[in-house]
Structure formats: structure tokens, C-alpha cells
Amino acid sequence: MRTTFTRQTRPVRGVRSWWGKAWQRAVEEAAYSDAELRPGRTHARRGDVGAISIEPGGLLAACRDGDDAWTVEITIPVLDDAARTALVEVVAAESGRIAELLAGNLPHDLVEHAEEVGVELLPFGGELAATCTCPHYLDPCPHAVAVLIQAGWLVDADPLVLLALRGVGRDLLLAELHARTITPRDATDDAPVSADLADDVELVVDAAVRAARLLPLFEAGAELPDGLV
């Protein structure tokens, strides 16, 4: 599934999360030299990157450079079926992890636990492969660096963007968790399957949606709708 994000503006306080900073380090590793990093940062901060479309395994965006506009494609490896199953198990291993993700937080211990079972969530420089329609002879070129930097802003604000790039988007993750919670623990047990954990997942999703709607109103000092409280 492809999701398109509108044109980004530089975060006022910069990249603040540990996973957002890890993404930026990967971009620096991917760049051939500072000669690509410096103009790439300028393009990103100046707002030369257009809307960014994200889907499992990659992203697509255009970057303006003077009178020209170039198309950038970035690819990142997706998790295979075994890794995806392992990731779902890691998320489900401790209560509160799905709530943290939906609230825009990526627990450090979740990533460490995932790495222990062979699942790499955060990319390293060599995984960020880029192509651009510009004539630059190196990849990533400054336009690709700009797109990667702005993609990092999206990841910083919402770690589910990172999971989506790895092939485990929000809807898929919730569906896998829901399916897991209603699967019998013992196939020989004739007792009805409890759906309590599945109900918990639904409650977490509902709470996260309500919080996302209420927070902008709260910060603006507006009156909160009764239906959302």
C-alpha cells in the first residue's frame, strides 16, 4: 500500500528521537562525501522536495533544483515472512508496545529485542539505495540525499513510517496482532478461544486515534468535542 505525504517543512526543533537520529546517521553513511551531503541538506531545509510517496520497500519524490525537477527513488529491503512474524511476536511480547508505536514512540528495547531474533528495523547506509533522473554521476546524489533527509523527518515523527518501509505497515501490523491474539494457544483445547487480547488491541487503536485528534485542539486551547473525550 502506498501512502503519500505532503510537502515537508523542517522540524522546528530538529530531529529529536533516537530512531530519527539513527536514520540520519544512515543517510550520512550512504552519502559518498560531504560534497553530496551539504547541498542535499540545503535542498531538504529549503523545501525543494515535493510530496513523498512511501510503500513497502521504497519511496518516491521529486526534488527541485533551479529550473529543473528530478525524480528520486529510494529502495530499502523489506522483511521476509519469517522476520515479519518474528517482529509481530516481539511487539506482542510485552504489553504496551503497540500503544507506544501508535502513540509515535519506538521503544529502544523493542528494537534490541527484534535484533536479538534477527530482525533489523533501523537501516544502515548500505541499505539505502538511491537513483535519480539527474545527470549526477554518484548515488546518492544531492537530490536523493534531500529526499532521504526528509524521509527521516517522517520517521522521526512516526516510527510506523519506518515499519511501513520495511513492509509492515500499521494496518498489517494490527491485523497480524489481532490474528495472533485470537489463535488458540493449544490446538487440542476444545475450550472457546478468548478474544480479550484482541479487544485490548482494538481499545489501544481507538485510544490512539482519539489522542491524535484531541492533541491539536488541546494545544490550540480549543474546546474539546464531547464525542472525543
pLDDT per residue as tens digits for the range 162-218: 999 999 999 999 998 888 776 544 444 443 333 444 444 555 555 554 455 455 544
Residue with cell 530519527: 20
214 contacts 196 by C-beta, under 8 angstroms: no
Q: How far apart, in Å, do the first and last CA atoms of the chain sit?
A: 31
In the predicted model, residues of the chain with pLDDT beneath 50 are 184-200, 209-210, 213, 217-218, 227-229
pLDDT at 193 (0 to 100): 36
pLDDT at 225 (0 to 100): 52
147 contacts 49 by C-beta, under 8 angstroms: yes
Cell of 212: 491524535
Q: For the chain, what percentages of helix, strand and coil (3-state, to nearest 5) are there?
A: 50, 10, 35
pLDDT at 36 (0 to 100): 84
Tell me which long-range contacts 3-7 makes (C-beta under 8 A, separation of at least 24). Answer: 3/53, 3/54, 3/55, 3/164, 3/169, 4/51, 4/52, 4/53, 4/54, 5/51, 5/52, 5/53, 5/54, 5/154, 6/51, 7/47, 7/49, 7/50, 7/51
pLDDT at 182 (0 to 100): 60
pLDDT at 190 (0 to 100): 45
Verify cis geometry, omega within 30 degrees of 0, for the bond prior to 140: yes
**Which residues lie across from 53 on neighbouring strands?**
4, 60
pLDDT at 70 (0 to 100): 97
Q: Using alpha carbons, list the distances in angstroms from residue 18 to 166, 168, 212.
A: 18, 20, 22
The answer to whether the pTM exceeds 0.85 is no
pLDDT at 219 (0 to 100): 53
184 contacts 192 by C-beta, under 8 angstroms: no
pLDDT at 54 (0 to 100): 96
Report how far residue 22's alpha carbon sits from residue 123's, in angstroms, rounded to the nearest whole number. 8
pLDDT at 214 (0 to 100): 52
pLDDT at 126 (0 to 100): 92
Cell of 69: 525537477
pLDDT at 139 (0 to 100): 85
